[in-house]
Chain A
Amino acid sequence: EVQLVESGGGLVQPGRSLRLSCTASGFTFGDYAMSWVRQAPGKGLEWVGFIRSKAYGGTTEYAASVKGRFTISRDDSKSIAYLQMNSLKTEDTAVYYCTRLIMVRGVINWFDPWGQGTLVTVSS
């Protein structure tokens, strides 16, 4: 069974950092690009960013709202994707979902599956 499990969420003060982890199982992790999507309380889905597989350079792309503050990385030997969040703001409060993505000709086509999510609360 393909499964993604996020961890690392919690309460953090504005300006501080937090690192989320996404542990994958049930598929060859290194063959896939991975993405993070967040959902603020009572709001819709917001794409955060993604990391390509090593075969495609392992490069990253980010939404404008997090660019320069968030960094996505991966450890294929452990089947884990990370989201390093720095200079956190109150508006970063959200449930963060990890998801595997399917890319065709360099374009994201869809996300499947999704993890259960981990809540990040940024507050003083």
Chain B
Amino acid sequence: QSVLTQPPSVSAAPGQKVTISCSGSSSNIGNNYVSWYQQLPGTAPKLLIYENNKRPSGIPDRFSGSKSGTSATLGITGLQTGDEADYYCGTWDSSLSVNWVFGGGTKLTVL
């Protein structure tokens, strides 16, 4: 069971908007930046969002991130079939046993 909680799956039609939540605690999301990663089928993860809401160069503005308290959200607008992937949130955790934690991942299906 992951320290960060994500819904196992979400789905929406092409052109629609979807949000993926990531819930944590004060030892992780509450006091640290959140980043998001996209993993297309059969490929390595790729950075999508860093420092809660910043996009690396080359990432379209259809992707957005936000954080409030101990939760973060990834938003994707104008869904495309090519967005079908697994999405992971991650952040630093200040507890003694770990330094970095990932969410369990959310599979996005574009219907």
Query: Distance in Å from the Cβ of A48 to the closest Cβ of chain B?
Result: 10
Q: How large is the interface on B (under 10, 10 to 19, 20 to 34, 35 or more residues)?
A: 20 to 34
A44 in complex: contacting residue of B2, B47, B50, B97, CB < 8 Å: B2
B98 in complex: contacting residue of A64, A107, A110, A113, CB < 8 Å: A64
Q: A45-B45, A109-B33, A110-B33 are in contact. Are A64 and B50 (CB under 8 A)?
A: no
A44 touches B51 (CB 8 A): no
Q: How large is the interface on A (under 10, 10 to 19, 20 to 34, 35 or more residues)?
A: 20 to 34
Question: In the complex, which residues of chain A have a beta carbon less than 8 angstroms from the beta carbon of B35?
Answer: 109-111
Instruction: For B101, give the chain A residue with the smallest CB separation.
Output: A47
A97 touches B102 (CB 8 A): no
Instruction: For A111, give the chain B residue with the smallest CB separation.
Output: B47
Instruction: For B97, give the chain A residue with the smallest CB separation.
Output: A64
Query: Distance in Å from the Cβ of A71 to the closest Cβ of chain B?
Result: 16
Question: In the complex, which residues of chain B have a beta carbon less than 8 angstroms from the beta carbon of A109?
Answer: 33, 35, 50-51, 92
